[in-house]
Amino acid sequence: MADGSPASLASAPISGQVVSLLANYCWVELDRPGPTGLSRLLCTRRSRLGKRGLQICSGDRVRLEGLDWPAGRAAVADLEPRHSLLSRPPVANLSRVVVVVSLAEPDLDPVQLTRFLITAELTAQPVDLVFSKADLLPAEQVRQWCGRAENWGYRPLALASASGLGLEPLRQRLSQPGLAVLCGPSGAGKSSLLNALRPDLKLRVAAVSGRLQRGRHTTRHVELFALAPGALVADSPGFNRPALPEDPAALARLFPELRQRLAAGCCRFSNCLHRGDPGCAVGTNWSRYDLYAQCLADMEADAARGMRRGLVRPSTACQPGGSGLQNPEPGQARRVGRVEPQLDPRLRQVSRRRRRQDSEQLQSLEETSGADDHADELS
């Protein structure tokens, strides 16, 4: 075991965690300071990592070689397996995702918020929801938003960075060991929040602009900061439209309130999309149902577009307007067969409208041969 002497340090494998990623370099915080007392090295990436298809993310645990202590440089030789991953912003080995959205400037958009929550839930780590800029809305409206989010299964925190209102409960959650990632739209106040929690960071922030009071993409890359012993927090660049997963069947588990209903046995079908289909007791009478249905419709429209462009493998569950009941599990055909698949007319409308926005080439394909037939052939 390494005892800290120069001899043992020379032989011990040097490892650490990627705390920020630049174009061709990354900063790695060492597990133990080096012989010169240096705790952070600027590292290149060995090309063999790329050849093995390994992409480094902030938060990755890495092994280093080619150490040049006087220059403070090294090269990343290998990646340790990740225990969790957030796809966008890309962060590995996180233990908590904090979705930050502003109550005003820019206004809170429930569809956008739902997409951020879905991305966060995909990590299978605890998800926190922060409503920022609570000082810009009357207290009653702040309470209403918190009540809504509680119905969705979250424990939201409303806060204002400048005054420090509501900051301490967040500090407590973020001070737990592990890596928490702040993510959300540009201008939501993520960096301001970190500045309020750790004023010495002095992270760059910028006023929102334009009619919609959008953010200016001030933070350009993910960076990890220590907040308490063993507790790291990542700031991240804001963006406006998180992607949805490809598989519509995976969506229900990403809504905590729906997950709860499913755990209580509200649906007996294993391949149901819970869209009010006959025989599905989940129903449509829950507060985020419209947002859930819209996400499903968007996923189906994305899949239809991807199939035409040859980007996505056809899947019966992704057919425009499909109810997800057409493809029963083995042994379930008769039981599922009694439930007639419902073609939801609203979804057809969404698909057609989206298709009209496609390229001219796709439009002419629709006009000449009937796009629905073509999509069916492909699937």
- Site residues, ligand GTP (CB under 6 A): 132-133, 135-136, 160-162, 186-192, 205-208, 215-219, 237-238
Task: Report the SS3 class of residue 113.
Answer: helix
DSSP string, 137-160: S-HHHHHHHHHHHHHTT---EE-B
Tokens (6 digits) for 39: 């705790």
- Nearest distance in Å: CB 249, Zn ion: 11
Nearest distance in Å: CB 100, ligand GTP: 7
Q: Give whichever of 117 and 188 is closer to Mg ion, judged by the CB atom.
A: 188
Residue closer to ligand GTP, measured from CB, 49 or 203: 203
Residue 173 — left, alpha, or beta (φ > 0 → left; ψ -120 to 50 → alpha)?
Answer: alpha
Please identify which residue in 191, 294, 319, 351 interacts with Mg ion, judged by CB under 5 A.
191
Q: How far is the CB of 375 from Zn ion (least distance, A)?
A: 24
**Interaction of residue 280 with Zn ion, rule CB under 5 A:** yes
Q: Are 234 and 58 in contact (CB under 8 A)?
A: yes
Q: Evaluate whether 136 touches 105 at the Cβ level (below 8 Å).
A: yes
How many residues touch Mg ion under the rule CB under 5 A: the total is 4
Q: What are the φ/ψ torsions at residue 306 (nearest 5 degrees)?
A: -65, -40
| Window contacting Zn ion (CB under 5 A); options: 91-99, 120-128, 160-168, 282-290 | 282-290
Q: Which helix (H) or strand (E) holds 351?
A: helix 345-356
Q: Which is nearer to Mg ion, 25 or 239 (CB)?
A: 239
Is residue 274 a contact residue for Zn ion (CB under 5 A)?
yes
Which single residue brings its beta carbon nearest to ligand GTP? 238
- x/- map, 196-225, Mg ion, by CB under 5 A: ----------------------xx------
Dist CA 129 CA 256 (whole Å):
13
Helices (H), strands (E): how many in the chain? 12, 13
Q: Are strands 40-45 and 26-30 parallel, antiparallel or unpaired?
A: antiparallel
Residue from the set 272, 301, 336, 375 that interacts with Zn ion by CB under 5 A: 272
| Residues engaged in binding Zn ion (CB under 5 A) | 267, 272, 274, 280, 282
| Residues engaged in binding Mg ion (CB under 5 A) | 190-191, 218-219
